[in-house]
Structures are given as C-alpha cells and as structure tokens.
A and B are shown apart, each in its own frame.
Chain A
Amino acid sequence: MSLEIGSNLTIALILSTVIGVGAMLIWVERRLLGLWQERLGPNRVGPLGIFQVVADMIKIFTKEDWVPPFADKFSFVLAPAIIMVAILLSFAVVPFAPNIGIVDSNIGILFVLAMASLGAYSVMLGGLSSDNKYALLGSLRAAAQMVSYEVFMGISLLGVVALAGTFNLREIVAAQQEGLWFVIPQFVGFVIFLIAGVAESHRLPFDIPEAEQEICAGYHTEYSGMKFGMFFVGEYLGLVLISSLITVLFFGGWAGPGFLPPIFWFAGKAGLFIAFFILMRAALPRPRYDQLMSYGWLFLLPLSLVNLLVTAALILSSQ
C-alpha cells in the first residue's frame, strides 16, 4: 500500500478527506459568513467553535428520520443518495496531486459533466416525490435552472479542452505547467464556468431551487434527519468539487513553488475558491429564475460560443 493513483490507501484517504471537508464546511461557512456580516458565528463548542460540526452531526443523526405518508417512498429515499453518489463519483477523476487521485481517465471532463447532470436528477426527484407544493416548485425551478446552465457550462470548458488538446484532467494540469495557467488565455471561460458552477452546486446567489425566503426550503422541504443531512453535505461536496475543478482547469491544479508539497497548493487554491463562494453567499442577492434563464440563454451561451470560436481561431492561426 502506498500513496499512488488508484491504490486502496489513496481511495480511502480521498473519500474520508472529502467527506470530512464537506462536513467541516458547515462550520467554516457559518464562521466566514459571521466574519463578513460583522458577527462571530458559532464559537462556543470547543476551540473557535470547531466542534460545532460534531454537535450538528449528533443532532442530525439522532433526529427522527421521517418519510411523509403522502410521499412516493422509493424515490423519496433514493433522491438524497443520488446526489451524494454522483458528486462523490466525480471526485474519482479529480487530480489532487501528481501521486494522489483515483482514476487517470481520458474522459475526465466529460465524466464530471455527466455526473453533474445526474446530480440534478436528485433534486428533481426529491421535490417531485415529496408531493408538497413548495418542493414541487423547487424541483421545477431546479429543472429550469439545469437546462439553462448546463449548456454553457460544457461549452465554457471547451476552450480549455482545445488549448490542452485533451479531456484528461491530469494532462490539462500538465499543459498548464508548460505554459500559462488557463485563467489568463481563457478568462471569459473561467468567469462563465464560475457562474455555471454556482448554479450547479445550488449555492447563493443561484440557490433558486431552495430559496428559503420564497419557497420554504424548496426541494428538501419534507426531508429530515440524515436524508436532509445528505442533501446538506451533498451541497457542500458540490462546492468542494466545483472549487477543485476551477483549480484544476484554470489555476494550474497542484502547481506551485516547491517548498510545499503539491497537495497543499491544490488545497490552498481550492480553499480560496470555497471562501469566494461563501463570500458570494454573504454578498449577492438572488435573481428570479426567469432572470437566470434569460441571462444564461441570451448572454452567457452566446458569449461562451464566441469564446470557443475565438479560441479555436487563434489556435488554428498559430499553427
């Protein structure tokens, strides 16, 4: 057993770290939100309140795990599992460091996009099977949001793919070590992917399917206990995933000065983006979902297409 791609040790480490980080984000997010809103956030349980996570875990595990009698039981139970499985599977292709990763796949980007689409089913199924009008509205919005962001999410990445000449995430990182980080030649693509990433992980300002202030809690209105916990942690895992992907695709992955091991650079960059996502939650108001859709279809989709065409034309002319 050693720390190499695909070994049992690596898989166990990645799984536990990713879930651990996802759980810790409950506390990190509340503290950061407090920092930006001139509050303190949870600081009573343990040093700096870090054991708040443990307290929350105990709470969520011991709550009544209730399935409403009017819900469609099979899909109601299935829905939270889908989002966890889909997002955890996406981590399989993420290259954390030269020797840390699970699969070195040639279709890395496609795999991640496919899993993101599957994750959207979880939200739709959860809302639909709850048989609750708020949940139904939430899943309706999730579906509307999904069809509008996933198109330009994929297209915005094609510029990176064209520059690197591969779908393999490790080779994309390697291509950035030779030249510039892709955030510079693909700045437009980066911004579009960032916006799509917010929508993909259902984070504010695009948490339209949940929208506490408008439709209760949206698709997870009827969920409680660990099923709700899986939606909750799944959302944070999606946040970690999107931050990792931005790091890999646009910010050179594990690349950095040699005095720290590569995994630290990866974690640092991803952490910065997680903090940025939380800052967006602290700062930005939520648009209406027709605004998100028209913004996506009428502005971001054409922009990403133009970006792809310009990138392709530049690559062609430089050959």
Chain B
Amino acid sequence: MFKLVKDTLTSQVVTLWTVFRHMFTKADTVEYPDTKPYMFPRWRGRIILSRDPDGEERCVACNLCAVACPVDCIALQKDEMEDGRWYPEFFRINFSRCIMCGFCEEACPTHAIQLTPDFEMAEYKRQDMVWEKEDLLIDGPGKYHDYNFYRVAGMSIKDKDKGEALNEDKPVDVRSLMP
C-alpha cells in the first residue's frame, strides 16, 4: 500500500514537471495563412496540363488518365488537327471529386497532365470547382523541360514522317529481303 502510494505520487509529480518544462519549448504550430508551409516539389496538388517546348499542347487525348482516375473526375473528347496531331476538344476536371491521387500523372504517356504543389483551391460554389481546359493549361512544360512527345514518338505528323523522330531508325521494309 505504501509503495503504491509513493510510486503514484512520484509519477504524478514527474509528469507535472515534464509537462511544465514544455513551457520553454517552441510551439509546433505553423500559423498557416500568415506563414506558408514549404510545399515539396513532388506534392500532389492542383492538376495542370502542360505544353511541350514548342508551345503546343502535350495532351494527345488518349483517355488513359480518365481511365486511371479512381473517382472518374476527368472527362475529355478527342479531336484531330489538320497536321495530324491529336488534341482534346475539351478537357474537364471536376476538382470536387478529385482525390489528388496522381494516378492520372502516372498514366499519362506524354507528361501532359501533372500535379503541382498548389492546394489552395477552395470555392464558394461547387460548380466553380469544375475546371475546363483553358483553366488547366499552363504556358510552360511543367516538370519535364525538354520532353516533346511528337519529336520522340514514331507517330507521323505533317512536318515529320515515320523514322524522323529523335533516335528513331528508318522504318524497315518488311517485304524486302535485303538486310
């Protein structure tokens, strides 16, 4: 009984002293709207559509992002330019559904869709959280400065035929017997 009481009292006093010492340590709180936290470059936040170094849209409307999206928040429609490039006629992300999982970025074959460190996207009206292509498109290449899909892919467009892409060999004539 005596030992129990003694142990209890010591433990209480030690606890009180330990907590009291926290008076002289700095608070962990970050006062958010006044001091912005450092956002890491790979943070998965607001989604953007990037352009290639030539200033053209990177998105080729392949729909892989829309398929990968677990909450079906991406909607787009494919269209084709006169020079043979594919592009989305409209591209719509419903950010009230988006869970910032980044699967769309992983699925994208052209580095077009990317997630950015921005997270301050609150709106008063739900409808304002649906972003159209002109809201999503940025002027730069995003995280991949030199990547240009049509310059490395075998797809032929107006000013670049098959075999003219970077590091690409001429197409093999399968009917020829010559090596």
Q: Hey, which bits of chain A sit against chain B, CB under 8 A?
A: 34-40, 279-280, 282-284, 298-299
Contacts and interface: CB of A to CB of B under 8 A. Distances in A.
Given A283-B15, A284-B15, A36 B20 contact: yes
Contacts of B31: 40
Contacts of B19: 36, 279, 282-283
Interface string B21-41: 011011111010000000000
Contacts of B16: 279-280, 283-284
Nearest to B9: A191
Given A280-B16, A283-B19, A298-B1, 9 more contacts: A36-B23, A38-B26, A38-B27, A38-B28, A39-B27, A40-B31, A279-B16, A279-B19, A279-B20
B5 to A, nearest CB: 6
B91 to A, nearest CB: 40
B12 interface: yes
B10 interface: no
In the A-B complex, the 10 residue pairs with the smallest Cβ-Cβ separation, listed nearest first, are A283-B19, A40-B29, A283-B15, A283-B16, A38-B28, A40-B27, A36-B22, A36-B19, A38-B27, A282-B19
Contacts of B12: 284
Nearest to A37: B22
A39 B27 CA distance: 5
Contact of B27 (A34, A279, A298): A34
A95 B18 CA distance: 34
A39 B22 contact: no
A299 B5 contact: yes
A35 B29 contact: no
Contacts of B26: 38
Nearest to A299: B5
A279 B23 CA distance: 10
Nearest to A303: B5
Interface of B: 1, 5, 12, 15-16, 18-20, 22-23, 25-29, 31
A291 to B, nearest CB: 10
Contacts of A34: 27
Nearest to B17: A283
Interface of A is mostly: helix
B15 A38 contact: no
7 contacts: A35-B22, A35-B27, A36-B20, A38-B22, A279-B16, A283-B20, A284-B16
A153 to B, nearest CB: 19
Contacts of A280: 16
Contacts of B20: 36, 279, 283
Nearest to A34: B27
B29 A39 contact: yes
A38 B5 contact: no
Nearest to B22: A36
A282 B17 CA distance: 11
A37 B19 CA distance: 8
A37 B25 CA distance: 10
Nearest to B25: A38
Contacts of A39: 27-29
A313 to B, nearest CB: 22
A143 B89 CA distance: 73
Contacts of A36: 19-20, 22-23
Nearest to B12: A284
A34 B28 CA distance: 10
A40 B19 CA distance: 15
A215 to B, nearest CB: 24
A282 B15 CA distance: 10
A39 B18 CA distance: 16
A298 B16 CA distance: 24
Contacts of A40: 27, 29, 31
A146 B74 CA distance: 63
Contacts of B27: 34-35, 38-40
B7 to A, nearest CB: 13
Nearest to A281: B19
B163 to A, nearest CB: 64
Nearest to B15: A283
Contacts of A37: 22
A35 B22 CA distance: 7
A34 B29 CA distance: 10
Contacts of B23: 35-36
B152 to A, nearest CB: 52
